[in-house]
Amino acid sequence: MDIISQIRTAASETLRDKFAFDLAPLAVAVNETKPEFEGDYTVVLFSFVKALKKSPEALGKELGEALLAGYPDLFSAFNVIKGFLNLTIADSRWTSFLRQEHANTGFGRGASNGKKVMVEYSSPNTNKPLHLGHLRNNFLGWSIAEIYKANGYEIVKTCIANDRGIHICKSMIAWQLFANGATPQSTGIKGDHLVGDYYVRFGEEHKKQMADLMAGGMDKDQAEKEAPIMKAAQQMLVDWEAGKPDVIELWKMMNSWVYAGFDATYKRIGSDFDKTYYESNTYLLGKELVEQGLQKGVFFKQDDGSVWIDLTADGLDQKIVQRRDGTAVYMTQDIGLAVKKYEEFHSDLSIYVVGDEQSYHFKVLKLICQKLGLPSADGIYHLSYGMVELPTGRMKTREGTVVDADDILDEMNREAEKKTQEQGKTEGFSATELKDLYDIIGLGGLKFFLLRVDPKKRMIFNPEESIDLHGYTATFIQYAYARIRSVLRKEGVPGDQPIAAAGEPSPLLPAEKLLLVTAEKYPGVISQAGEEMSPSVIATYAFELAQAFNSFYNVHSIANAESPEKKALRLQLAQLTSTILRSALGLLGIRVPERM
């Protein structure tokens, strides 16, 4: 039980026994004591002052005295400021916690709660490589899954490959027209990049054809639809859904190039999935559900044959679920996929990690599933996140202004190498070890930069800011970890083996206590990150813990501690800190170096 839970329980029991007042522990408001007041944690008295008919000062004094008398191992002092009871935690409570947890590599991980959560992330289109926006998506989805796992949930990580539709057909048509049979093997270009090049080429050719049509007097909207290359792509989509053999073969070939490229990038960034779904396998199920919805009166058919749902009574509008030519839209696929996922895994919660521009889409999806009476409906949750922009503005794939994931990963490694060389601390590293170190620092810097911001906020990514030994970065935290491991090695502490205490140390000094108090918060931080679905909570905490260690290390020697008792305590403190830093960064998908 963490310290705040212990305080709540002690206060609840004392209110019951001394004042005959029943108050559930969770109803006891406990905050960290403000820095300007003496104490560690504060019990807010206002919620029960009136019921007990006492002044805040009198109640605080009586409750404080009773807590000190009843829980001498937990509390050592108190003071009352108006309606706030400030409590000082006994040193023995902190040292007991330290001895128990300093070598616990599972500290912060909750026991199984019997519930299952599915997290869907990445979900790329197979007409282009992963880009910077996909990286935020992958890092966020993977981290959320790990945070839920740490909170005791069974996790299923899934991906949906959007492998059909008009966008895929655009790349296919452009390849037919302009590639002259080019392949990844013949060009030396990574498969997803090669296919993406032809998606961009489609956009360029489409613009040219539109310009020609508009020069002949056609308006822009009509020219966009009537451009020959667009009509060819639309026909290819119809042919694909009809199963035309040559179209299917081309589709399979180009998708195989893209999947090989995706797999290489996923391996590089540490993204993995328990199950990958394919839109090509789910859209037909969606079409069956659309037909059932028509029979139930959930959907209606327009005069042109397209199928819609009217959600105006729900505060939304009308939404198409099937085109007039019978082809599926994204909503069709998502209805089918929701059913397929639930039937296979029966998750209590199904989290879709998708950008905030799709918020409306997921409101509609949940409503449609509820109106169809699907068992998966209530568990649908859209974890929306803001787009990642560059200092030059928003990225657009069709205009070729997107930063590919592979390119940004390469740039981060170069930046890591540059910063490491500037520090001049590469002596003793082999070439292989340096390569791995640059990857740890570069990828860690990227992940931390993209995850340290609340998911709902849009952000601007700047590679140079993401690797800074003295900034709010993974590098700062990784260096603190490496420093601790160096200290432990020099003191002969093997790995994560427990360190024996050397008797009862003298009272905790301020920097020692601050580090202990910060470390003890870790389980609560994991819980908070899960409740808020925000890895930024973990990132902020890891940085604060690294700062607390640096402050402690700058004023207190470990190797030359004042006494054997103090040395043992500080070694335990260092080991506990390193264990938590490794765990916290691990929840963000970030590795830690043993030296740097």
pLDDT at 398: 45
Q: Which residues 6+ apart lie within 8 Å of 186 measured at CB?
A: none
DSSP state of 125: B
Which CATH code of 3.40.50.2300, 3.30.1360.70, 3.40.50.1000, 3.20.20.10 fits the domain covering 3-89?
Answer: 3.30.1360.70
Domain map (residue ranges) of the chain:
3-89, 121-399, 406-587
- The label of the residue with tokens 């080991």 reads 575
Residue 276: helix, strand or coil by DSSP?
A: strand
H/E stretch holding 319 reads strand 318-322
Residue 333: C-alpha distances to residues 257, 287, 330, 354, 363 (Å): 23, 8, 5, 15, 15
∠431-193-403 over CA atoms, to 5°? 75
Measure CA 144 to chain center. Answer: 4
pLDDT at 24: 95
Q: Exposed, middle or buried: residue 110 (CB in 10 Å: 0-12, 13-18, 19+)?
A: middle
H/E stretch holding 32 reads strand 30-32
**The pair of three-digit structure tokens given for residue 278, joined into one six-digit string:** 């394919």
Q: Exposed, middle or buried: residue 267 (CB in 10 Å: 0-12, 13-18, 19+)?
A: exposed
CB atoms inside a 10 Å sphere around CB 390:
16
Cα dihedral angle (531, 533, 538, 540), rounded to 10 degrees?
-100
pLDDT at 395: 43
Please tell me the distance from the alpha carbon of residue 114 to that of residue 112, in angstroms, as a whole number: 6
- The label of the residue with tokens 């992330």 reads 121
452 and 536 Cβ atoms separated by less than 8 Å: yes
Per-residue pLDDT tens, the chain, 596 aa: give them: 789 999 999 999 999 999 999 999 999 999 999 999 999 999 999 988 889 999 999 999 999 999 999 999 999 999 999 899 999 999 999 999 999 999 999 988 889 999 999 999 999 999 999 999 899 999 999 999 999 999 999 999 999 999 988 999 999 999 999 999 999 999 999 999 999 999 999 999 999 999 999 999 999 999 999 999 999 999 999 999 899 999 999 999 999 999 999 999 999 999 999 999 998 888 788 888 999 999 999 999 999 999 999 999 999 999 999 989 887 788 988 999 999 999 999 999 999 999 999 999 999 999 999 999 999 999 999 999 998 877 765 544 444 457 899 999 999 999 999 989 888 878 889 999 999 999 999 999 999 999 999 999 988 887 778 887 788 999 999 999 999 999 999 999 988 899 998 888 789 999 999 999 999 999 999 999 999 999 999 999 999 999 999 999 999 999 999 999 999 999 999 999 999 999 999 999 999 999 98
Q: Exposed, middle or buried: residue 313 (CB in 10 Å: 0-12, 13-18, 19+)?
A: exposed
pLDDT at 401: 56
Rama region for 124: left / alpha / beta (φ>0; ψ in -120 to 50; rest): beta
Question: What's the CATH code, domain 406-587?
Answer: 1.10.730.10
Please tell me the distance from the alpha carbon of residue 268 to that of residue 409, in angstroms, as a whole number: 9
Nearest one of 280, 79, 312 to 162, comparing CA atoms: 280
Q: How far from each other are the two terminal CA atoms of the chain, in whole angstroms?
A: 36
* Helices and strands (H, E) in the chain, number of each type: 22, 14
Q: Which residues 6+ apart lie within 8 Å of 434 measured at CB?
A: 417, 420, 426
Q: Report if pTM > 0.75.
A: yes
**CA dihedral sign of residues 106, 108, 111, 113:** negative
Residue 574: helix, strand or coil by DSSP?
A: helix
**The pair of three-digit structure tokens given for residue 331, joined into one six-digit string:** 């909503």
Burial state string for 344-377 with b = 16 or more CB within 10 A and e = fewer than 16? ebebeebbbbbbbeeeebbbbbbbbbebbebebb
Nearest one of 387, 385, 383 to 530, comparing CA atoms: 383
Q: Exposed, middle or buried: residue 525 (CB in 10 Å: 0-12, 13-18, 19+)?
A: buried
Please tell me the distance from the alpha carbon of residue 31 to that of residue 524, in angstroms, as a whole number: 13
Please tell me the distance from the alpha carbon of residue 283 to that of residue 121, in angstroms, as a whole number: 19
DSSP state of 300: E
The reply to whether 3-89 and 406-587 are identical in fold is no
Nearest one of 387, 390, 412 to 402, comparing CA atoms: 390
pLDDT at 466: 81
Residues β-bridged to residue 508: none
H/E stretch holding 28 reads none
pLDDT at 281: 86
One-letter amino acid at 132 equals L
Please tell me the distance from the alpha carbon of residue 325 to that of residue 305, in angstroms, as a whole number: 7
pLDDT at 393: 52
90 and 73 Cβ atoms separated by less than 8 Å: yes
Please tell me the distance from the alpha carbon of residue 208 to that of residue 463, in angstroms, as a whole number: 35
CATH superfamily of 121-399: HUPs (3.40.50.620)
